[in-house]
Structure formats: C-alpha cells, structure tokens
Amino acid sequence: MTAAVPPGPIPPVVLAEASGATVTPVWLNDAGGVTYVVDDARSPRFVKWQPHSAEISLRDEAIRMRWAVGFLTVPEVVSHGSDTDGQWLVTTAIPARSAVADEWIARPAVAVAAVGRGLRALHEALPVAQCPWSWAPAERIEQARDRGIRVPADLESAPSVDRLVVCHGDPCCPNTLLGDDGNVAGHVDLGSLGVADRWADITVAAMSTLWNYGPGWSDHLLAAYGVAPDAVRMDYYQRLWDNT
C-alpha cells in the first residue's frame, strides 16, 4: 500500500543524484520509503529511497528489473546503492502515469480494465523457466517468519496451483503505468517478482481495486484479465497477503 507524501527533508543522496535539478516527492510506502522524480530535461528519472528494512531490498529489485526488462516494459536501472541511512534505486522514467493518477481515478472502468489486461500480459511475457526467483507460499511464509511475523499455520496448506507464472509480487493498481490512451505503458515496483500461482497476483490486484477505486470493481478486473472469480484461491491468497 502507498500514499501521498507528506512534507519532509529530502535525503542527501537524492539531492546528490539530482545535481541541481528539481526534485519532487511523489510516493510514500508503508515502510517509510519515498519515491522522488528528478525533473531533468535531459534525462528525467526516479529515485526510490528506503530506510533499511528486512522486508524491502532495493538491490533485489534492481536485479529483478534488469532481468525483466528483456521481456517487458519496465524502467531501466541507472544505479543503486546503500549507506548507513538507507538504500536507493535510480531508474529511467517511462512517459506514463500511474493507474491511480487523478485522471484514472475519475475513469475507473478504463483504469481497472487496463490493470487487468496488463497483469495478464505480464504473466504471458515473463518466462517461468528462466526466472530464478520464487514467490510461492512456502517461501513467503518462511520469509515472514524470519522477520518475526506469526503466520497462521493453516496457510501452509495452499490450494492446488491453477497456473504457474512469473508473478509481479506487488500488483496493486498504482504499480501499473498507463499512457494517455488508457493502455498499459509499463510496470514498476518489481522487488518481489517471482514464480507462483497466477492467483497470488490476481487476488492482490483485485483487492487493490477496492483500496484505490472503491467497491464494485474486482469482477471488472477479473474479466479484463480473462478469468472467473475463484473464491477458494482468492480467499487463501488474500489471507496470505494480509499475514505475510
């Protein structure tokens, strides 16, 4: 989940990356990380800055993005690094807006359908056999417990796999970028990308429609993706998301 950014000091590493260009904070995540846009006319780019976190590794995200860019439209990694204060990731800018920008919040039917189609396209484009990472329930549960989270034991029994795909890992609506025509222009925030049942992604994307557009849009996303609701898998993957 993410939110608008409250005013606050810009980390020195972000200012150094900007080299005098205008820096604007555009997004805040639940772990205290902020994404900034560097408005450089020659090379506009984004800088994600994140306090050190057991849950988020921008180094891992950079590695996944460099792999995914060979198959999918995602920002290109310019650089990444860390110091005692936090970690950062610099990427190129895709000429598009988040699916939860004001113009798309006002047109939810268009935005939600695009997110559903975009997620299906992502699943079709990324090759399972070549992906070195897993986002399967067992790995997610183990990682959560390593962070000290008490995960309900019944989540260890996952539903049978419908279809293995390379999942986005955080397919909330804000992470799909749309062009002016309402079509998908790219995807961002790939730090959890890995192989899992496609319902791990579909469920979270459907949940995100409620958070971002209000009630009544979940089935619209499923239809755009091309699947009927699956109550058993959606219940399981919602609980797995909530508990890990």
| Domain of residue 63, CATH code | 3.30.200.20
Assign residue 214 a region (left: φ > 0; alpha: ψ between -120 and 50; beta: otherwise). Answer: left
| Residue 39 φ then ψ, to 5° | -90, 70
How much is the pLDDT for 5? 65
Banded model confidence at residue 136, pLDDT cuts 50, 70, 90: very high
The span from the CA of 178 to the CA of 97, in Å, is 5
pLDDT at 105 over 70: yes
What total number of domains does the chain contain?
2
In this structure, the chain runs to a length of: 244
Domain range for 114:
97-243
pTM here is: 0.93
How much is the pLDDT for 2? 46
How much is the pLDDT for 92? 95
Query: Are residues 114 and 85 located together in one domain of the fold?
Result: no
Query: Are residues 88 and 101 located together in one domain of the fold?
Result: no
pLDDT at 61 over 80: yes
Query: Are residues 75 and 176 located together in one domain of the fold?
Result: no
> Averaged over 58-66, what is the pLDDT?
97
The overall average pLDDT reported for the chain is 94
**CATH code assigned at 130:** 3.90.1200.10
Banded model confidence at residue 7, pLDDT cuts 50, 70, 90: low
| Residue whose token pair is 């058993």 | 232
Query: Are residues 143 and 236 located together in one domain of the fold?
Result: yes
Which regions of the chain does DSSP assign to beta strands (E)? 2-3, 22-29, 34-39, 45-51, 77-82, 86-92, 97-98, 164-167, 176-178, 184-187, 194-197
Pairing of strands 86-92, 45-51: antiparallel
The span from the CA of 152 to the CA of 20, in Å, is 49
Domain boundary among 92, 114, 129: 92
Domain boundary among 60, 92, 124: 92
Low-confidence winner among 23-37, 74-88, 178-192 (lowest mean pLDDT): 23-37
How much is the pLDDT for 53? 86
pLDDT at 220 over 60: yes
Low-confidence winner among 33-37, 125-129, 205-209, 236-240 (lowest mean pLDDT): 33-37
**232-166-189 Cα angle (round to 5):** 100
Q: Report the percentage of the chain scoring pLDDT > 70.
A: 97
